[in-house]
C-alpha cells in the first residue's frame, strides 16, 4: 500500500482497514493502493483500530469474538 483513501496500515505495514480493497487490487493485478499510515503503540491499539470501521458496517463481530480478540492483544 502507498498513501490515503484506500485503507489504513500501521508503521509496520500491518493492515488496519481496507482488506477488501486490497484484495480487489491484488485480484486485478493493480500495483499500489493508497493507504493512511497510523502509528500504533501496541497490539491492543492495533486491534481496537481494526474493529472500529466494521462496527458501523459490514459483518459484525459477536460480543464473544470482540472479547476474545481484545483479550488476546493484552
In tens, the pLDDT along 44-55 reads 898 888 877 666
pLDDT at 38: 94
In tens, the pLDDT along 2-53 reads 434 568 999 999 999 888 888 888 899 988 888 999 999 999 898 888 877 6
Three-class secondary structure of residue 17 per DSSP:
strand
Dist CA 35 CA 13 (whole Å): 10
pLDDT at 58: 60
Cα R_g (the chain), whole angstroms: 13
Domains of the chain, residue spans: 8-73
Helices (H), the chain: 19-27, 43-51, 63-73
Dist CA 62 CA 28 (whole Å): 32
pTM of the predicted model, to two decimals?
Answer: 0.62
Q: 23: buried, middle or exposed (CB in 10 Å: 19+, 13-18, 0-12)?
A: exposed
Amino acid at each position: 500500500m502507498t498513501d490515503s483513501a484506500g485503507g489504513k496500515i500501521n508503521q509496520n505495514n500491518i493492515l488496519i482497514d481496507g482488506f477488501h480493497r486490497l484484495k480487489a487490487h491484488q485480484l486485478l493485478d493493480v500495483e499500489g493502493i493508497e493507504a493512511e499510515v497510523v502509528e500504533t503503540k501496541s497490539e491492543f491499539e492495533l486491534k481496537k483500530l481494526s474493529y472500529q470501521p466494521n462496527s458501523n458496517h459490514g459483518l459484525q463481530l459477536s460480543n464473544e469474538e470482540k472479547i476474545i480478540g481484545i483479550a488476546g492483544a493484552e
